[in-house]
Amino acid sequence: MTVRTALALTAIPAVLLLSCGGSPARDQAEAAPAAEAAAAPTTDFCALLTAEEVQAAVGWAVAKSTVYGQGNLGHCKYEGEKSNNVLPPEQLEAGVIMCFTNFPCAEDMPGSFASSADLVAYRKKLYAEYEKDSSMGPLDASIEPVEGLGVPAIMHELGGQYTLEAWLGPKRIAYVSVWTSADAARSLGEQVLARAR
C-alpha cells in the first residue's frame, strides 16, 4: 500500500469509506425499513461471481459471502479469511443497485446515459457538489470511462478501492468493488454484467 493510499483512507469521511463495515450499497440496500431489510432477497447476488472467479482475480480465497438487498436490487459481500485485518482488505462487493456507490440517489439523476463519457461527467458532478458542501476539501477520486462492455461504464478509484460501475437502465447500476486493481474490477465486472442483465 502506498503512503498516498494510506493517507487517503484516513481522510475519507465515514459516509464514503467503503471498508471496515461500510459498503458502497449500504445506503440503498441496508437503509430499507426494518421489515424489508429482514426479508430474504429474491435474487441471489452471490451467484453473480463464483468463489473461484473471485480468487483468480484478487488472489485470496473467499471464506464468507453474504447477500444484502431485496428483489432485483442488492449486492453480495465476499470476504477472505483476514477480511478487515489486512491492508488492503480482503473484501469485494458485487451487485445491482439503484444509484452510484457512495452517494444517495439524486432526485435529478438522468433516466439514461448515452455513453461512458456521460457517466463520467455525471459522477464528477456528484463529487463536485459533495466537495462544495464538505469541510473535507477535494477528494482524490479518479473516474475514467470504460469501453467495450456493451453498456456505458466507468472505473472509479477512491482511497485505493476500484469500482466498476455499469449502467443497466433507470435505477439499475451493476458494480464490482475491489481493493486490488482496476484490472480485477473490470474482469469481475464482465462476469457480473453477463449474469445481471
pLDDT value of residue 148: 97
* Helices 51-58/182-196 angle, 10° precision: 160
Domain boundaries, the chain: 3-196
Looking at residue 49, what is its pLDDT? 97
The reported pLDDT for the residue numbered 34 is 40
pLDDT of the residue at 73: 92
Which stretches in the chain have pLDDT values below 50? Answer: 1-41
Q: Does this model's pTM top 0.75?
A: yes
C-alpha cell at 99: 444509484
pLDDT of residue 38: 42
pLDDT score recorded for residue 136: 67
What does the pLDDT read at residue 177? 97
**Residue 157: what are its φ and ψ, rounded to 5°?**
-120, 130
pLDDT value for 121: 95
